[in-house]
């Protein structure tokens, strides 16, 4: 007797904190099972965290978060987007930027002024991040670095905001 297959999502991130927060929120809001593990890549001498998410509500989670969407005929498609309906309130905007920072952000304090950046290969988050930052008076700049897009802020006063 063969066992039925089920959907699941596999996230790989460098930030253990981001993975832990994602697991907590996914379980809290969608009731999905989230298994965490830390992996050490011997050849590259690097560590990363994996998050496996699965359960009965996985399709709703994928639609709610934009991992999966429906085309004009109601067919499922896997085109990564950030649903505008998911980021409307001030709290949702703050949580999005916090999550983005945990997943791919950094701040440095060079000799002259602060510098912050988000480095992502996920093109779907860029318009949402730029919109939210701009709505809060922070005008980010964009550049390419290898296969990623970098959203960066150099104005120290705006960075505090």
Least confident of 84-88, 117-121, 149-153: 84-88
**Three-state DSSP string of 37-64:** EEEEECCCCEEEEEEEEECCCHHHHHHH
Condensed to tens digits (0 to 9), the pLDDT of residues 25-56 reads: 999 999 999 999 988 877 767 788 899 999 98
Query: Taking Cα atoms as reference points, which of 124, 131, 121, 51 lies closest to residue 88?
Result: 131
Distances, alpha carbon 25 to alpha carbons 22, 33, 136, 144, in Å: 5, 11, 25, 31
- In whole angstroms, what is the distance from residue 99 CA to residue 84 CA? 16
Q: Residue 81: is its pLDDT beyond 80?
A: no
Predicted pLDDT of residue 160: 64
- Res. 24 pLDDT band, cuts 50 70 90: very high
Chain mean position to CA 37: 18
Q: Residue 151: is its pLDDT beyond 90?
A: yes
- In whole angstroms, what is the distance from residue 85 CA to residue 94 CA? 15
Average pLDDT over residues 107-113: 75
């Amino acid at each position: 007797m063969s066992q039925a297959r089920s959907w699941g999502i596999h996230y790989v991130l460098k930030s253990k904190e981001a993975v832990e927060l994602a697991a907590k929120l996914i379980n809290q809001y969608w009731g999905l099972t989230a298994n965490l593990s830390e992996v050490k890549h011997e050849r590259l001498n690097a560590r990363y965290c994996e998050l496996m998410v699965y359960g009965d509500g996985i399709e709703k989670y994928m639609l709610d978060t934009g991992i999966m969407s429906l085309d004009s005929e109601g067919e499922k498609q896997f085109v990564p987007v950030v649903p505008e309906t998911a980021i409307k309130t001030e709290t949702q905007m703050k949580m999005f930027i916090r999550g983005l920072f945990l997943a791919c952000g950094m701040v440095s304090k060079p000799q002259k002024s602060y510098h912050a950046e988000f480095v992502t290969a996920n093109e779907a988050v860029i318009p949402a991040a730029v919109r939210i930052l701009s709505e809060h008076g922070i005008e980010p700049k964009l550049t390419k670095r290898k296969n990623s897009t970098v959203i960066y802020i150099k104005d120290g006063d705006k960075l505090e905001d």
